[in-house]
Amino acid sequence: MPNPKKRIFRKLRIREISGVDSPAQEGAVVSLVKMAKPSDEEDEKNPNPVTPDEAAAAAPDANDQEPNMPDQDKITADKLAAAETRIKQLESDVAKANAKVTALTNLTAEETAYAKALRESDRDVFLAKSAGDRATELKDAVVYKAADGTLYLRSDDARLVKMAKDRDEDHKRHNELIEKAEVTELAKRFSTEMKHLPLDEAAGVALLKAVGAISDEKVREAVTKALKAHDGKQAEGFEESGINPGDPVTKSAQDAFDEGVAKFAKANNLDITKAKDLGKATADYGKTAEGQKLYKAAYEKTRPVAN
């Protein structure tokens, strides 16, 4: 490329000089000379002074010398090196983050809660440990685990630990009262709505709890209706009647049969609270004359035949 036309500026009036952080031509060099007109005394000392034009002509031409420009190849190499260093640092950070996520996913619920309670530096040390070492540290560090899963460490204020224990105890008593009230209500329902089902009170309460836990309202109502209908069928065998025709009606035939089974078991040293003994007592008592009559009255009620 041919050299551009040379121009020398000799008479300039500079109004302002500003420094910038990003110059347009970083390697450019400017030389400024401020020169006063020589006095007569100076003329005598220097009879052949150099005029400004001569000084400018003697100065090397800026177009004839290589400008002091930075080495672009070196700049590019430095930038690439810095970028590579940054990339390696990012890769290291990502690897550490992935290792931390993997460690967190392998923690138990208690270890996760414990890790969250630690400072970041202590948490990293904890996550780097083996499963056995983590379990040992957790056992040594935790003094109480609250009902909501919060872990209290040896370093925590003892007053906070006591407050957590008292709070859990209050909640426990409150829940026990609620549970007791619920059981009482369900027992009352069972004794009035489904008393003829072959279940004791505890089983009846458990049955009603299970029915109440059905989320679908229509299904829950259908199951309740079916149980009541079955109870009604069972009630037909519990109608009061005498052992023989004409005997005074005093109690249901099944009650009389159950009392007979209990007396028979007691007389034969059988424990009717045990399923095996109850089955034997019922079977043996049912073979007696009295037991057969009561069984027929309670469970084999004769129904009228339609004409």
Residue 18 lies in a domain: no
**Do residues 205 and 186 touch, judged by C-beta distance below 8 A?**
yes
Residue 306's CB is within 10 A of a number of other CB atoms, namely 4
What is the count of structural domains for the chain? 3
pLDDT at 306: 42
pLDDT at 304: 44
pLDDT at 166: 92
Fill in the DSSP letter of residue 25.
Answer: S
pLDDT at 125: 85
| Residue type present at position 303 | R
Residues 147 and 88 in one domain: yes
99 Cβ contact partners less than 8 Å away, ≥ 6 residues apart: 127
Residue 305 lies in a domain: no
pLDDT at 10: 73
- Which helix or strand (DSSP H or E) is residue 13 part of? none
- Which of the listed residues 236, 264, 289 is the one where a domain comes to its end? 236
Residues 127 and 95 in one domain: yes
pLDDT at 127: 82
Residues 143 and 79 in one domain: yes
Stretches in the chain below the pLDDT threshold 70: 1-4, 6, 25-75, 236-251, 299-307
pLDDT at 163: 92
Distance CA 35, CA 30 (A): 16
**Do residues 235 and 196 touch, judged by C-beta distance below 8 A?**
yes
**Do residues 168 and 147 touch, judged by C-beta distance below 8 A?**
yes
Residues 247 and 232 in one domain: no
Residues 244 and 215 in one domain: no
Residue 209, domain extent: 175-236
Q: Which segments within 39-89 are labelled E, that is strand?
A: none
Q: What percent of the chain has pLDDT over 90?
A: 6
Residues 247 and 226 in one domain: no
- The structure's pTM equals 0.38
Residues 227 and 244 in one domain: no
pLDDT at 232: 78
- Which of the listed residues 153, 187, 205 is the one where a domain comes to its end? 153
DSSP code per residue over 280-306: HHHHHHHTSHHHHHHHHHHH-PPPPPP
